[in-house]
Chain A
Amino acid sequence: MTSSNFRSWPLYLILTVISMPLVIMYVYLFVDTVTDTTAGSLIPDRFTLHHWRFLWEEPETGRVSIWTVTLNTFIFATCTTLINVSASVTAGYALSRLNLPFKRFFLGGILTLHAFPTITLIISIFLILQMIGLYNTLIGVILVKAALELPLGIWIMKGFFDNVPWEIEMAGLQDGASRFTVWWKLVLPQVQPGVAALSVFVFLSAWSEFILPQVLAPSGSAQVLSTYLSNLIFDDMKPDFNMFKSVGVFYALPVIIIYLIFNKQLMNIYGGGTKG
């Protein structure tokens, strides 16, 4: 809100000052990927594409190609989204609309899990995956990630289903449709914005996930971009920040694009108070 009763410039000043560190980091994140800077100087002085060589050069022995890793990340994020959204959409509907024994118990459970320190379970999940042989596989990480985001997903979808008018469903039943048809053909189309928002949210969350792949699938073949980048950073004794940043920008680009396209849907999930 702008009001002629108040001045704006002090706000601009103070916001600009505290935003400065972040802006500097963002700017250098991008600029450093295509330039070289003389040691000790802050101003880049040469243009180069050298830092992006990981895209076309053969990987060093022992390292996996960035394209394989990207594909892994994409598979990981997509499958996680699919599993999470399908389970959320059905469970959210059941909790919002259907007759259910122990409904209070289920809802309370979902809420508890939602607030629950999921990461604390990683030790036992690690051991379980080892025991059932899904350690170091993408399937394992996908299942775990989809599950960890599930309480939030169910909660969000329940919120969206709650807002569909009951009369639509009643009308559907009167028109002779089964409850399943009513759900599939009449209710689901009404919550499409919710499904879209949740999908974007889960996809981004999986795309950025670090701890789970790091612990549950650390080796080469199942590596994703987050672990690839962090291995790169931890391995090197002499850090090549320009190269790290290039990999980082390559990794972050989809996130930024998705953010720009689905800005509104994301705000819906982050800001809509859907988390409680």
Chain B
Amino acid sequence: MRISIENFTKSFGDTTVIEDMSLEIGDGEMLALLGPSGCGKSTTLFAICGIHRMNAGRLMFGDTDVTEVSSQKRNVGVVFQNYALYPHMNVYENIAFPLKVRKESKAEVDRKVQEIAGLVHIGELLQRRPMQLSGGQQQRVALARALIRKPDILLLDEPLANLDAKLRLEMRSEIRRIQLATGITAVLVTHDQVEAMSMCDRIALMDKGQIVQLSTPKDMYENPSSDFVAGFLGNPPIAFLDGTVADGEFRLANSQVTLPVPSGIEIPGEGAPMRFGVRPEFFQPGNPLKVPGKVSFVETQGREELYDVMLENGAVLRSIQSQNAGFRLGQEVSWGIEQDRVLAFGPDGNRL
């Protein structure tokens, strides 16, 4: 089912959380609402499922206007961050609850519960209580409960935040598998860019109640529209160099070091402030465009090693290299930047 949010505005008391936001989510698509806490992503989710009312704007499911329709009648399944399983019911009763509310026959309920339990792999847990389940199992139960009445839309509110690292990896692919298997339109709310990038077809990156970029994960990583987007995606994060335009080149602030501007961008006027973003994978010893500095931090991550290199003006570039490169803390190095992979941002933070 296609979802379209048109000119959505939401305020609590005097504070406006979201202003005039529009978003279109295609049928069968999985979209991530990504952003730092307080950016309005959960508010958007609550508006889609009807727990919050919209102050202005329109919400369409397919061709139906559901702006004024109550939660109960929207046919939306939600998985909450803490799963919100009903503690006094066992797994079977939890999953069956949406059907019981609709007064479906016992046999029908039983058939559907078994079917969905099979899909999310919890067939053997049906008699347990939520308290007796691990985080991942609770997650599966929550998914099963959200999916059992064949909702048009599945909403996931930080579904992996409460899991430990290993389970998070497992459930990431599980949720995606189930979403693809059911072909349901899904919206994932998360603050973790890895989750958003690995699970979703498209990402809507939000900041301060606005969607700052809406794109596929790969495109958003490679072509961020602003330094905010660039800084939000990528782990280890991108490093920024501040400077000004000098003779058609980029001059590092408080320094005589100049770097050529990547080809094909419009250079702002002489003396205008400018910002370079360099991802760690594009700052390597082998690259030609050398920048001298001193290794100020070394972190061993097992397969890779992460270095911080402090330039002469105090700015820091980050580099990620395969193990055993053998650089030591305090060592003077001169590594190179891959010129065409440099992201250049103008004074307002927007990509040039």
Contact = CB atoms under 8 A, between A and B. Distances in A.
Interface of A: 165, 167-168, 170-178, 181, 186, 189-190, 192
Interface in B72-109: 72-73, 76-78, 80-84, 86-88, 97-98, 101-102
B156 to A, nearest CB: 12
Interface of B: 46, 49-51, 70-73, 76-78, 80-84, 86-88, 97-98, 101-102, 145-146, 149
Nearest to B80: A167
24 contacts: A167-B80, A167-B82, A167-B84, A170-B46, A170-B49, A170-B51, A170-B71, A170-B80, A171-B78, A171-B145, A173-B70, A173-B72, A174-B72, A174-B76, A174-B77, A174-B78, A174-B146, A175-B145, A175-B149, A176-B102, A177-B72, A177-B101, A178-B72, A189-B88
Contacts of A173: 50-51, 70-72
A174 B73 CA distance: 8
B81 A175 contact: no
Contact of A176 (B82, B83, B98): B98
Nearest to B71: A173
A274 B218 CA distance: 54
B98 A175 contact: yes
Contacts of B71: 170, 173-174
B80 A171 contact: yes
Given A176-B72, A189-B88, 15 more contacts: A165-B82, A167-B81, A167-B84, A170-B51, A170-B80, A171-B78, A171-B80, A171-B86, A172-B86, A174-B76, A175-B149, A176-B73, A176-B149, A178-B72, A189-B86
A168 B86 contact: yes
A190 B87 contact: yes
Nearest to A168: B84
B73 to A, nearest CB: 8
Contacts of B77: 174
A181 to B, nearest CB: 7
Contacts of B76: 174
A171 B95 CA distance: 12
A171 B50 CA distance: 11
A190 B130 CA distance: 13
A28 B49 CA distance: 67
Contacts of A186: 86
A171 B101 contact: no
B24 to A, nearest CB: 23
Contacts of B87: 189-190
Q: Which interface residue of A170, A181, A186, A192 has the most chain B CB atoms within 10 A? A: A170
Contacts of A175: 97-98, 101, 145, 149
A81 B213 CA distance: 59
Nearest to A186: B86
Contacts of A170: 46, 49, 51, 71, 78, 80, 84
B109 to A, nearest CB: 13
Contacts of B146: 174
A181 B102 CA distance: 12
A173 B88 CA distance: 17
A174 B98 CA distance: 8
Contacts of B50: 173
Contacts of A177: 72, 97, 101
A167 to B, nearest CB: 4
A167 B73 CA distance: 18
A-B pairs, top 3 by smallest CB distance, nearest first, are A167-B84, A175-B98, A171-B84
A178 B86 CA distance: 16
Contacts of B101: 175-177, 181
A163 to B, nearest CB: 12
